[in-house]
Chain A
Amino acid sequence: MELELKGITKRFGSLVANDRIDLSVAPGQVHALLGENGAGKTTLMNVLYGLLQPDEGEILLDNKAVRFGSPKDAIAAGIGMVHQHFMLVPVFTVTENVTLGIEETRRLGLLDRRRARRDVRDLSRRYGLDVDPDALVEDLPVGIQQRVEIVKALVREASVLILDEPTAVLTPAETEDLFRIIKQLKDAGTSIVFISHKLKEVQAIADTITVLRRGAVVGERPPSATEDELASLMVGRNVQLRVTKEAAKPGDVVLDVSDLTVADQVGRVLVNGLSFQVRAGEILGMAGVQGNGQTELCEALMGLQPTAAGRVTLDGVDLTRATPAQRLRAGLAYVPEDRQEDGLIGSFSVADNMVLDQYNRPPFASGINLNLGAIAANAAERVQEFDVRTTSAQAPVSTLSGGNQQKVILARELAHEHKVLVASQPTRGLDVGSIEFVHRRIVEQRDKGVAVLIVSAELDEIYALADRIAVMYEGRITGFRPPTVPAEELGLLMAGGTDEAPGTPGSPGPEPSPSAPTAIPGAGQ
């Protein structure tokens, strides 16, 4: 089916979210929509999916104008959408989720489960989706849940499939799998609209790339376009995809973690005898596939998870049993992995979020009285310093884009006195421009002599920032490497390959010998 959007305009009050957008998707084509957060990608797709009505313009399917009053109409016309946040019922099985709303019934209104299950299995087999029709959705990893969403669309006979930021929640391996599935769908004649802000992915999967900026189409490029070209188009100026930085000048050990062990409530060991040190003025990059204990490591460092064994010291001060507040006072700055859940209070203003962990200290408080003037002054200053794009410092922080939300967190954490910065997935879900900004700030911190620990599942990010790389696998560090290490070698370590020759793996830089040996002989498998 051929899909064409002509002159789509959508306004929200004075904001023009989509400005006369033209887009045509040929059958069996992967058409990427590339743009920063807030460029209007999702709005456009919501128009296409019938969630929003365009103010101007029309949608053509096989050259026939159609109107979608609701997603129901869009689905009936063969359009399927996989939202960034899945629309699944966790306690239902895959089959139940897939058939939700279009249940086939037998006589007496009984559900025809057998047929539904067979449909799911057939689709799963045909496209290599590997989805068990009887599995409970809540038991499935995110990557598989996404496939359930795809099955949902396919069962409804979608011939145009919209994928909204599908890789945002996936591990690199799951992304690979998704790309394989997309290729199979494409070969079967399904058109795919692939929404993303990640250049590499778009280049890898798309047949045509349409770049949006500020609600308008700013160009269409083949996937052979260079990364720099796409990035400049997307951001509207030249961007540096990798920040330039001087060689690190590491000082004394500031953050010293030895034999750190963290277990969950049922006694599962998630961080297993981890030891590492971070020196003043260096960035240690903690690489690893997500779910190998990085989250728990960060939470333990911040005092949010109890430490089962081991020690954490900051500048020689033992923090092993300290509360989060004590750690903040001791000089730990923390950028949590989940911005919205752990970093911000969505309904609070930008100003309030900027003092979220400083609200009870001077100048923001005297006694138990809040000093609203100081909070406002601080916000005004930080908004400017960090170029936070917001209508007002009193606007709820949830109205900001992801990049600006992250700037709010950075502004807060870097404002208070700190010796260590722990940043977990600092640029997850951010657009190119914001990534550049965040990276530059982090390197700036290092150059000021702060000991920086970056935990990231993105190898690009690790390479861009780290002066030294550690790799985590199943709660352990499988090795330390210099940033010159080839990606293949890191990949092996990330998959659990252990360090045969511990010690210094030929580090050329001026960095100190990492404390690798302690990481390998753990306290038993």
Chain B
Amino acid sequence: MSDQVSSPGPAAAGKKEAEQGRTGAGLGRAFRDSIVEGHTVTILILVFFTAFVIGGLLNAFTNTAVLHAWGNFFSAPGHAIAAAWDTAVGAYVELFEGSIFNPHTVAALFQQASIATAIHDGYLSAVFAPLSETCVQATPLILAGLAVALPYQAGLFNIGAQSQLIGGMIVATYLGYGVSLPLVVHAVVCVIGGFVGGAALGGLVGELKARTGAHEVITTIMLNYIMLYFLTYLLSFGYLMQAPHATNPVSPAIVGNAHLPHLFGPSLRINVGFLIALACAAGMWWLLNRTTTGFEFRSIGKNPSAARVAGMNVERSWVLVMLIAGGLAGLSGAAVIQGTDFTLNFQSYGTYGLDAITVALLGFGRPLGVVLAGLLFGALRAGAPLMQAATGTPVSMVDVLEAVIVLLIAAPALIRAIYRLRATRGGGVGEVMSKGWNA
């Protein structure tokens, strides 16, 4: 065995595994790799558990009724604890009912005389309304999250999803009310316009980096402000994009032909935008793992100098990846305008641009991860209004949950310390985030 020449063992074994590995590397394996790696699952479960415990405690101990009960702790100790528990759990129950599934709607459905009337009177759609709302909320988060995740794979940190999203919104909105086109064509043109609007801004960042070496973090942050004020400007003068006779900064509504069609009838808000988001995630997976362009992106992301030596055009890839990323963020903007908002105002961009970074990091910069992270955040947002209405827990509770989840994901050592887990050998959770800006 000590003879180097006459031991084909490792080499032969390597060959075998190579064949096996590649053929087996189907969608299933990619699925598994995207999220389930090593001890990642355990950590993730513990992260969510911890976040919900912290959120629950925070909720219980900021609720005035609960605090009052604690004031009477010595006279009625059981009451204080019960009140705290009820408040914490009650909020989560409402959060769940608002985002996933509400048993009351099912009960109502079965009380109907027939399926036909149930459908007609909207009882059936009421059952699916929470899920629909989750998907609606997740759509822009997924698209914008991909806009951060894709450049991340190529070693770039796109902080500019917000500016690119605004770019997409502006173009999609303008095309939505400014031109007149037939039914399907109009929506398609607006979506493409959204992509182009975002891509223009992303491409600009890529060009600046490729030609002058300007760091994308700086340029994207600056562009965020430029686009924000540009949008306000557009909406502030009647002759630009402001709606006629409007006194507040708001654009005209896009025409019906430009709306993204609903998937399951008008009573559920879920629309084609969600399918676009899923398609984009699948497209990104394909691009990264199955194409030469993706190979270049990943090479450049991991080791730009080796990529350059291997003859890859690093600068061109920077431009291309930012172009695509900008387009994805632009699609996110178009999905908001064409799917739910229909008009553009100076706050339409919301916090999607920054949430996108969180979603991308939570999704480990991978397409499937981004979809799941987007759905999670979408669910939290979809459930928040019901939670507030039913239990008086402020909507910002959801922000706290998101923040704690991200914090714990970024610091798996913390989770390991809390639960006395043994460190895994490298990699896994936290690798993405702890690599930092210039990784």
Partner of A341, one of B3, B23, B296, B306: B306
Interfacial residues of chain B within 3-31, with CB under 8 A of chain A in the complex: 3-5, 8, 10-15, 17-19, 21-23, 25
Asked if A237 and B311 make an inter-chain contact with CB atoms under 8 angstroms apart, the answer reads: no
Whether A328 sits at the interface, judged by CB under 8 Å, is yes
Asked if A376 and B18 make an inter-chain contact with CB atoms under 8 angstroms apart, the answer reads: yes
Q: By the criterion of a CB under 8 Å from any partner CB, how many residues of chain A are at the interface?
A: 53
- Chain B residue numbers with a CB within 8 Å of A235 are 4
Asked if B4 and A370 make an inter-chain contact with CB atoms under 8 angstroms apart, the answer reads: no
Asked if A328 and B5 make an inter-chain contact with CB atoms under 8 angstroms apart, the answer reads: no
Asked if A213 and B311 make an inter-chain contact with CB atoms under 8 angstroms apart, the answer reads: no
Residue of B nearest to A385 (CB): B11
Asked if A351 and B309 make an inter-chain contact with CB atoms under 8 angstroms apart, the answer reads: no
Q: By the criterion of a CB under 8 Å from any partner CB, how many residues of chain B are at the interface?
A: 39
Q: Is the interface of B mostly helix, strand, loop or mixed?
A: helix
Taken together as a complex, chains A and B put the C-alpha atoms of A304 and B312 apart, in Å, by 11
Whether A347 sits at the interface, judged by CB under 8 Å, is yes
Asked if A433 and B302 make an inter-chain contact with CB atoms under 8 angstroms apart, the answer reads: no
- Chain A residue numbers with a CB within 8 Å of B292 are 359-360, 365, 368-370
Asked if B2 and A214 make an inter-chain contact with CB atoms under 8 angstroms apart, the answer reads: yes
Taken together as a complex, chains A and B put the C-alpha atoms of A204 and B22 apart, in Å, by 49
Whether B180 sits at the interface, judged by CB under 8 Å, is no
Taken together as a complex, chains A and B put the C-alpha atoms of A347 and B17 apart, in Å, by 18
- Chain B residue numbers with a CB within 8 Å of A377 are 19
Known: A345-B303, A360-B292. A304 touches B308 (CB 8 A): yes
- Chain A residue numbers with a CB within 8 Å of B25 are 372
Partner of B18, one of A237, A387, A393: A393
Asked if A370 and B21 make an inter-chain contact with CB atoms under 8 angstroms apart, the answer reads: no
Whether A226 sits at the interface, judged by CB under 8 Å, is no
Asked if A390 and B290 make an inter-chain contact with CB atoms under 8 angstroms apart, the answer reads: no
Taken together as a complex, chains A and B put the C-alpha atoms of A388 and B307 apart, in Å, by 22
Q: From residue B276, how far is it (CB to closest CB) to chain A in Å?
A: 22
Q: From residue B140, how far is it (CB to closest CB) to chain A in Å?
A: 28
Taken together as a complex, chains A and B put the C-alpha atoms of A380 and B8 apart, in Å, by 13
Asked if B295 and A393 make an inter-chain contact with CB atoms under 8 angstroms apart, the answer reads: no
Q: From residue B56, how far is it (CB to closest CB) to chain A in Å?
A: 39
Residue of B nearest to A343 (CB): B306
Known: A237-B3, A341-B303, A368-B291. A390 touches B14 (CB 8 A): yes
Taken together as a complex, chains A and B put the C-alpha atoms of A324 and B12 apart, in Å, by 34
Residue of B nearest to A237 (CB): B3
Known: A325-B313, A380-B19. A369 touches B291 (CB 8 A): yes
Known: A368-B292, A376-B22, A433-B4. A342 touches B17 (CB 8 A): no
B residues in contact (CB < 8 Å) with A: 2-5, 8, 10-15, 17-19, 21-23, 25, 289-296, 298-299, 302-303, 305-313
23 A-B interface contacts by CB (under 8 A) = A213-B2, A237-B2, A324-B308, A324-B309, A324-B310, A325-B312, A328-B310, A334-B309, A343-B306, A345-B303, A345-B306, A351-B18, A357-B309, A359-B296, A370-B290, A370-B295, A372-B22, A376-B18, A376-B23, A383-B14, A392-B18, A393-B17, A393-B18
A residues in contact (CB < 8 Å) with B: 213-214, 235-237, 302, 304, 323-328, 334, 336, 341-348, 350-352, 356-357, 359-360, 365, 368-370, 372-373, 375-377, 379-381, 383-384, 387-394, 433
